[in-house]
Structure 1
Amino acid sequence: MVRVWIADITALLIEETYQAYYNKVPVWRKEKADKYVNKDDRARSIGAWTLWQMMQRELNVPEEAVFNLSHSGRYVLCACSDRTDAKVGCDVEMKGKLLMPVAERYFGKQECEQIRSGKDEKDRTDWFYRFWVLKESFMKATRRGMGLDMKTYTFAWDQDGVPYMSTQPEKYRDHYLCREYIPEQGDARIAVITTDPEIEGSLHEVRLI
């Protein structure tokens, strides 16, 4: 099963708290965080790995477990599967402005039509971010990243409101399970995509202090 955890890293913007968590991560992660000039980026880097360590400890997750990390704004996200043969990708994005030129460049025709059909600007913006996190999650699950043409795979929703892949690239024909989540504050969109046949329905929210 895939477990999905998210944490608010606001507390890590306080130097004393940041150092406390920084001291608990591996050396290579410290070095990665040290390369960032912006303290918010450093906090996200340390916070993401801290969240993964917490999942390992509290869920007794083995070192070889498949996992994926994401971060945006004040959030860090981790999705992990207990199946070593599974593919897992996740993405969290703070909701901002509607970026229709981005959608027109990277999304499929029907996806763009779905965005434009929104009842108002807020609804259209929400549709944009729903598609964006799904597309990012799939890229990460395949490990191709931006090397994968985003127009070669599209998403739709079934009658129960659950997202699914309506088209897939020829090289990635596995069955992918898709899930959406919204944090309690409602200020971000989250998606997880996996070949694991099971994924928890709820988002586990953690506050780092």
Structure 2
Amino acid sequence: MRKTKKIKSFLHFKDAKRTLVGEILVRSILGKQLSLKNKDINIYYNAYGKPYIKIEGNYFNLSHSGDWVVCAFDSSPVGIDVEIIKLIDLSLVLSFFSTEEAEYVFSIKSQNEQINRFYDLWTLKESYIKAIGRGLSIPLESFSIDLRNYLEIIKMKSVLDNRYYYFKKLFIDENHKLSICTMHPQISNEIVFKKIKEIISLMKENA
């Protein structure tokens, strides 16, 4: 029992650490982009927990999992999701997917590839509900993403706000899946990698 509590506390600590790194990352980059001091950057949260700032044309979104903390910035609403790839019981988690998505996952025999397809879909769907800003109040099975003929960009019209959203899978490493959702059809492949020392240095400049 004590060991279980210790493991849970450790996991919560790691999660809290990644959350803190995420906020430092956002503040350091916003401070540099907008020429603002850290004390002048006010981060708010909507009713579904999505963070935002009250500066027109400046949107961001955060995600963390495994070894990574990621952040996306855009001039329009944006969502990003990173997930560490783990072995999962696909028969259970596919209850969150549409029939078409479930068929796509199971249309290949390799279990490893099924898991890869699951995480591709999961991160893409998560990036969308985060871009919309309503989190898991939107049932994941209520919309479908078609990866059967995926080339580079996926276009989908939202039934919630009648606007088009664009999706892209990005490569970060072999052990994680990363996806982004924006309102722009052009999505760069570029990922800027920052070490924690660089982020803290930026924070000091904006102090």
Q: Could you tell me the TM-score, scaled by structure 1's length?
A: 0.71
Q: Residues 70-102 of structure 1: CA distance to partner in whole angstroms, max 9, x if unpaired? A: 111221110111x2xx21111110010133134
| Equivalent position of 2:69 in the other structure | 76
| Equivalent position of 2:26 in the other structure | 52
| Equivalent position of 2:44 in the other structure | none
| Equivalent position of 1:156 in the other structure | 146
Q: Which has the higher contact order (CA 8 A, sep 6+)?
A: 1
**Secondary structure, aligned partner of 1:181:** strand
Are 1:173 and 2:162 counterparts? yes
Q: For structure 1, which segment, 54-63 or 99-108, has the greater mean C-alpha deviation from structure 2 after superposition?
A: 54-63
Show structure 1 runs of 5+ residues with no match: 1-35
Runs (4 or more) in structure 1 with deviation over 3 Å come to 57-63, 157-160
Percentage of identical aligned residues: 22
| Equivalent position of 1:8 in the other structure | none
How far did 1:53 drift? Answer: 2.6
Change (3 A) 1:108 1:142: same
> Which amino acid is 1:180 matched to?
K
Between structure 1 and structure 2, the one with the greater Rg is: 2
| Equivalent position of 2:3 in the other structure | none
Q: For residues 33 and 108 of structure 2, what CA distance do their matches in structure 1 show?
A: 40
Q: Residues 33-58 of structure 1: CA distance to partner in whole angstroms, max 9, x if unpaired? A: xxx98321221111101221332245
| Equivalent position of 2:40 in the other structure | none
Change (3 A) 1:51 1:90: same
Q: For residues 131 and 163 of structure 1, what CA distance do their matches in structure 2 show?
A: 14
| Equivalent position of 1:109 in the other structure | 99
Q: For structure 1, which segment, 171-180 or 87-96, has the greater mean C-alpha deviation from structure 2 after superposition?
A: 171-180
Q: For residues 102 and 175 of structure 1, what CA distance do their matches in structure 2 show?
A: 30
Show structure 2 runs of 5+ residues with no match: 1-9, 37-52, 198-207
Q: For residues 150 and 96 of structure 2, what CA distance do their matches in structure 1 show?
A: 26
State how many pairs are aligned: 169
How large is the RMSD of aligned CA atoms in angstroms?
2.5
Q: Could you tell me the TM-score, scaled by structure 2's length?
A: 0.72
Q: For residues 11 and 83 of structure 2, what CA distance do their matches in structure 1 show?
A: 21
Q: For structure 1, which segment, 188-197 or 37-46, has the greater mean C-alpha deviation from structure 2 after superposition?
A: 37-46
Are 1:191 and 2:179 counterparts? yes
Are 1:88 and 2:78 counterparts? yes
